[in-house]
Chain A
Amino acid sequence: MKASVPLMPMLTLALALAACEREQRPTHAPPPASSIGNPSQPAGAVARAHDRYEQNAYAVSQGKTWYRAYNCNGCHAQGGGDVGPALMDATWRYGADPASIYATIAYGRPNGMPAFGGRVPEDQIWQLVAYVRSLSGQLPSSVAPSRSDGLQAGKPEARREKEKIRPEPPSNPGELR
């Protein structure tokens, strides 16, 4: 009993900090450090992406807003895939970690993925990265968005099981997907 006495405040403090992080509304986005179009992303940017966006419910829900506003659902539908590949399953052709997804969105990919680097600010790209990862259940249910108003397209992101990521080898470039 004695040993766990200091444990309790530590636990509640940790819980509080997690809650604090998850619930903030970071309205004043920091000016993006790297200039747009810089191919090699420093490791720091990845770390920053993880905690600033993926643990913040507001950032992920903003990502969901941009997913519709920038017409990502035009090719990827609600994550199920259409002309573009599915984003909610476990197969990732260009890597499932935040940095790879950031590169995919910012610099585009062959077979039709446009480069949004110059057009979508970096802060919003990180929010999109966080939302895209929530499509396959990678984010904790307290952060991922729950149902949205309007017609339902499958399970809300908060209630999806976490997919076990299996990297998929890129099919030969010539074949039109």
Chain B
Amino acid sequence: MTAPDPRHDTLERRMPRADPAAATALERTWRDPPGIIGWFAAINHKTISKRFMVTTILFFLAGGVLALLIRLQLAQPNAGIIGPDRYNQIFTMHGSTMMFLFAVPVMQAVATYLIPLMIGARSLAFPRLNAYAYWIFTMGGIMLYAAFFVDAGPDAGWFAYVPLSGPQYSPGKRVDFWAQMITFTELSGLMEAVVIITTILKLRAPGMSLNRMPLYVWTMLVTSFMVLFAMPSVMLASTALITDRLVGTHFYNPGEGGDALLWQHLFWFFGHPEVYLIFIPPLGFISSIVATFARRPVVGYPAMVLALVTTAFLAFGLWVHHMFATNLPELGKTFFTAASLIIAVPSAVQIFCWIATLGSGRLHVKTPLLFVLAFFFILVLGGLTGLMLASVSLDTQLHDTFFVVAHLHYVLLGGAVFPLFGAFYYWFPKFTGRLLNERLGRWNFWLFFIGFNVTFFPMHLLGLWGMPRRVYTYPAEMGWGDMNLVASIGAATIAASVLLFLVNVARSLRVGAVAGPDPWGAGTLEWSVASPPPMGNFEVIPVVHGRYPLWQPQPEPTHVEGMSNEWREVLVTTVADAEPDHRLWMPSSSVWPFLSALATTVLFVGSIFTPWAVVWAAVPVAVATTIWFWPRRAVVRERVRSELRP
């Protein structure tokens, strides 16, 4: 336990605290009811977010085990460990789990915890909708894994190209479960995006104008706007696939006017922004971690924000680079080559700004910074292989080979999972009040870094030597055996490192060093409250005067007064300059979001078996959501007494 840091008490004095009586009243108001029913009725953003994070990490571990099975089967040529049918299910489940059940949701889960704390708000804008989105996500994941355990797991790849995933070549319900899992996760993702956008734009603490928002909050705002316009594409595509399979529509039936490429266009119009949905939030993690551990603000705030916005727009313009091997016109493809190259510029700007920040700062080298530094090695390598894949002619050799498997893991793990681990090490003290062990952290990092490169760098060579993607085995005389063995050993190393992370978490929860409000001496608002934060986050809502409030002098006024402690009240502020606009009561904890999610699950799963499920299951959904909305007479009578009209 480090000696209590003298500087902390100066921090305390500057951030005014409410008197203990008000603090306990606030805690009681924002706390969820106890007991089993209370557990299901919880809507506090931190409770839901912690469950969300744990659920997505469990899916990450499940996806990891599937990856180990894949590497086990591919370690040696002609291995008979896993048959083709089982293997197709395993690699499809690995891809679908990692992309839909882990990568995008975990970023939203972390965001729903951090954003209210970083912008000085006591809650998310629509807490019940946030709870509903979590339950829908979890039930979708459970449905997919239930299908997988009864041998009905999807087996057409994580992007399920038609006609293989169509009604004729995928008999049974396997692809239906996959398409319905898309409906679950996208519905959840879209709702979380609406919650995050509204929270960021309307609930910022007074004084936190747009140019004073932390860069992480900017990344989540940009990501959420991308979600609004990207995810509908895959929802339309998967709905069309389910109607093709169940009621006989012909969207993808070439014989009756449909087209196989319509699926690829719709899927990849979502697919490429999707990988940026996974990549942009970690840019926010890196900005936060680099600023704190370089002991100085990130270089070029406006340049960083503009780079985020540019990346978001360009991400919608390059989906056809996934379809360079099809018979689309060559000139069109060259346009997408150019678009795929240009999108490297905003990312380059951000990387250069971070390097400049590190160079001109004083470095406090701890595990979070190590994970971020790994980004500069792995993501940059992955980005450059991406530029190779951007060229049409090169892509005809590299597309759908193990070169692409290497590229996507370099950008996804290097660009998202490494910074995510860094973020866990950085914000774990804020979530739990205890620091993760530094020595275990270093072991975890180095094992992960070395294991990662040993696993995925050889795959570049395998791709060039002609090994295609998604093969359950390969002949011995192709000479791919050695590199595959090396990759499999690397995969085991990654597994060891993730196990070490779990050990570190389990150990630190019990005996980790007590963190206190600000163990890293960081600059943003979440470090001005206790760890773990009280249920209402801020005993008094702060007034913000700068980008790094804890690092800058705090002029008058310092905080907001006059908010009720008996009601869950938030201060709604204007969009641009966050000036106080009006007070708003947040809804009470309720079981109905959970029950509505249950009813929606019955509707979705039922509609796999009969189209009429959409009709008769809509009734319980309507009933549940109506009760969820319906105000309680007693509560309203209380609130009306202190109501002030605009």
Contacts and interface: CB of A to CB of B under 8 A. Distances in A.
Interface of A: 16-17, 19-20, 22-25, 27, 57-58, 60-61, 141-143, 145-152, 155-156, 158-159
Contacts of B173: 19, 22-23, 57, 142
Contacts of A152: 248, 250, 255-256
Contact of B244 (A58, A147, A151): A147
A149 B85 contact: no
A148 B83 contact: no
A23 B166 CA distance: 15
B172 A146 contact: no
Interface string B318-357: 0000000000000000000000000000000000000000
Contact of B167 (A24, A27, A141, A148): A148
B246 interface: yes
B587 interface: no
A57 B244 contact: no
A142 B247 contact: no
Given A22-B152, A149-B168, 6 more contacts: A23-B172, A57-B173, A146-B167, A146-B246, A146-B248, A152-B248
B609 A142 contact: yes
B253 A145 contact: no
Interface band, chain B? 20 to 34
A151 B172 contact: no
A145 B167 contact: yes
Contacts of B172: 22-23, 57-58, 142-143
Given A60-B171, A147-B244, A20 B255 contact: no
Nearest to A26: B85
B466 interface: no
Contacts of B16: none
Interface of B: 83-85, 146-147, 149-152, 163, 166-169, 171-174, 244-248, 250, 253-256, 609-610
Contacts of A58: 171-172
Contacts of B250: 147, 152
9 closest Cβ pairs, A-B complex: A57-B172, A150-B255, A61-B171, A23-B152, A57-B171, A146-B167, A147-B248, A25-B85, A148-B168
A143 B171 CA distance: 8
Contact of B151 (A20, A60, A61, A158): A20
A149 B254 contact: yes
B434 to A, nearest CB: 38
26 contacts: A16-B150, A19-B173, A20-B150, A22-B172, A22-B173, A23-B150, A23-B172, A23-B173, A24-B151, A25-B85, A27-B84, A58-B171, A61-B168, A141-B610, A142-B173, A142-B609, A143-B172, A145-B167, A145-B168, A145-B171, A146-B245, A147-B168, A150-B253, A150-B254, A152-B248, A156-B248
A60 B171 CA distance: 9
A148 B147 CA distance: 24
A158 to B, nearest CB: 8
A60 B250 CA distance: 22
Nearest to A144: B171
A136 B610 CA distance: 19
Contact of A19 (B152, B244, B254): B152
Nearest to A20: B150
A13 B253 CA distance: 36
B155 to A, nearest CB: 8
A155 B254 CA distance: 17
Contacts of B244: 147
Nearest to A64: B168
A146 B246 CA distance: 7
The A interface, classified by DSSP as helix, strand, loop or mixed, is loop
B634 to A, nearest CB: 30
Contacts of B255: 149-152
Nearest to A143: B172
Contacts of A23: 150-152, 172-174
Contacts of A19: 147, 150-152, 173
A17 B152 CA distance: 11
A20 B171 CA distance: 13
Contact of A20 (B83, B152, B254, B256): B152
Contacts of A57: 171-173
B147 A159 contact: no
Contacts of B254: 149-150
A73 to B, nearest CB: 15
A149 B163 contact: yes
Contacts of A146: 167, 245-246, 248
Contacts of A22: 152, 172-173
Contacts of B149: 16
Nearest to A152: B256
Nearest to A147: B248
Task: Find the residue from A22, A27, A149 having the highest chain B CB count within 10 A.
Answer: A149
A150 B85 CA distance: 26
Nearest to A23: B152
A145 B255 CA distance: 17
A151 B171 contact: no
A151 B147 contact: no
Contacts of B84: 27
Contacts of A20: 150-152
A157 B364 CA distance: 68
Contacts of A24: 151
B498 to A, nearest CB: 30
Contacts of A147: 167-168, 244, 248, 250, 253
Contacts of A150: 253-256
A150 B163 CA distance: 11
Contacts of A143: 172
B308 to A, nearest CB: 43
Nearest to B608: A142
A156 B167 contact: yes
A27 B85 contact: yes
A143 B152 CA distance: 13
A93 B253 CA distance: 36
Nearest to A24: B151
Contacts of A27: 83-85
A19 B83 CA distance: 20
B628 to A, nearest CB: 25
Contacts of B146: 16
Contacts of B147: 19
A23 B89 CA distance: 12
Nearest to B147: A19
A26 to B, nearest CB: 9
A58 B250 CA distance: 22
A22 B172 CA distance: 7
A23 to B, nearest CB: 4
Contacts of B85: 25, 27
A49 B257 CA distance: 38
Nearest to B162: A149
Task: Find the residue from B167, B244, B610 having the highest chain A CB count within 10 A.
Answer: B167
A108 B376 CA distance: 72
A27 B87 CA distance: 14
A148 B252 CA distance: 11
B458 to A, nearest CB: 31
Task: Find the residue from A16, A25, A150 having the highest chain B CB count within 10 A.
Answer: A25
